[in-house]
Amino acid sequence: MFVSNVELHEACTMDEAFALMDRLEDARILAGGTDLLVDLKVGRASACSLISIKRIDALKGIAERDGDWRIGALTTITELGASECVKTHLPVLIDATSKMAAPQIRNVATVGGNIVSAVPCADLPPVFLVLNAGVTVQSSEGERCIPLDSFFQHVRKTALRSDEMLTAIVVPKPPDRFGAAYARFSLRDGNSIAVAGVAAGLEFNERGEIVSARVSLGAVSPTPMLVADAEDILVGNPLDDDACVRVGDAAMGACSPICDVRGSDAFRREIVGILAGRALRLAQQRAMETPS
């Protein structure tokens, strides 16, 4: 399979990228290409031109800014997983990066591409959702911030306009006694997309009661989603087995999985309940260990 009749353009700065986006008809942004090139080959996407952004330094790196972590859109999955900041402060991201694809893909696949693709089984979106993250997007007109919970609109459809580029994912610094974890099920250990994934983020007070909670699901609905009832079930109480089961039941009720070669809808629903318990317990453990 080949990608045919596509012109490749390279932008070295944001201004160059916006000029190309403005000038070229039917152009698509190319980052690592691990989603887009496959989509072009199988005919799921089409484009006359590709604008490679890989040389734009402003989109690279992880930095602390105004109490937030700013993860540049071009950060690769390997770089994200190897970051000392992530290892220390956001280990939930490693739960995802360590399971995604294979090292060859992780070396080129970017965080921005994983989010903009808006594929239901993508691993990073549910994790960023429980971290209360947002994205910054930029066009030649300026910049705007979009909370991640309103970014995903449908399968492969986001709030990004065609003249905009995703520049960074912004993760607020977690409070003390906060822990998060991601549990995913796939058919193999390597190079296998998620059949279902559940992320949990929990903040506790000094008495061990939950003061804020977010639980999100991946691969079991058209977009990554928050489980609306989880907060009501969890907040104000310690985490016990009964709470884990009730959140699992709420997650199973909230999702709308598909049935495909990787698993039936009933199977996916069932494992969502199990994964919810695992993610909650690991989040609790991490909250007790977090550096402040």
Binding site for ligand FAD (CB under 6 A): 28-36, 38, 73, 100-101, 105, 109-110, 112-114, 116-117, 122-123, 165-166, 191, 193
Q: Which residue is nearest to ligand FAD (CB)?
A: 113
Beta carbon nearer to ligand FAD, 218 or 284? 218
3-state secondary structure the chain: CCCCCCEEEECCCHHHHHHHHHHCCCEEEECCCCCHHHHHHHCCCCCCEEEECCCCHHHCCEEEECCEEEEECCCEHHHHHHCHHHHHHCHHHHHHHCCCCCHHHHCCCEHHHHHHHCCCCCCHHHHHHHCCCEEEEEECCEEEEEEHHHCEEECCEECCCCCCEEEEEEEECCCCCEEEEEEEECCCCCCCCCCEEEEEEEEECCCCCEEEEEEEEECCCCCCEECCCHHHHHCCCCCCHHHHHHHHHHHHHHCCCCCECCECHHHHHHHHHHHHHHHHHHHHHHHHHCCC
Beta carbon nearer to ligand FAD, 28 or 278? 28
Provide the minimum distance between the beta carbon of 5 and ligand FAD in the complex, in angstroms, as a whole number: 17
Provide the minimum distance between the beta carbon of 30 and ligand FAD in the complex, in angstroms, as a whole number: 5
CA distance 151 to 118: 9
Provide the minimum distance between the beta carbon of 193 and ligand FAD in the complex, in angstroms, as a whole number: 5
| Dihedral pair phi/psi, residue 35, rounded to 5° | -95, -50
Beta carbon nearer to ligand FAD, 7 or 232? 7
Provide the minimum distance between the beta carbon of 1 and ligand FAD in the complex, in angstroms, as a whole number: 13
Beta carbon nearer to ligand FAD, 95 or 203? 95
Provide the minimum distance between the beta carbon of 239 and ligand FAD in the complex, in angstroms, as a whole number: 28
Beta carbon nearer to ligand FAD, 46 or 256? 46
| Dihedral pair phi/psi, residue 37, rounded to 5° | -65, -35
Beta carbon nearer to ligand FAD, 60 or 281? 60
Provide the minimum distance between the beta carbon of 128 and ligand FAD in the complex, in angstroms, as a whole number: 12
- C-beta separation of 198 from 183 below 8 A: yes
Provide the minimum distance between the beta carbon of 100 and ligand FAD in the complex, in angstroms, as a whole number: 4
Cα 33-35-39 angle, rounded to 5 deg: 105
Beta carbon nearer to ligand FAD, 54 or 281? 54
* Token pair 């942004």: residue: 29
Beta carbon nearer to ligand FAD, 119 or 239? 119
Provide the minimum distance between the beta carbon of 283 and ligand FAD in the complex, in angstroms, as a whole number: 20
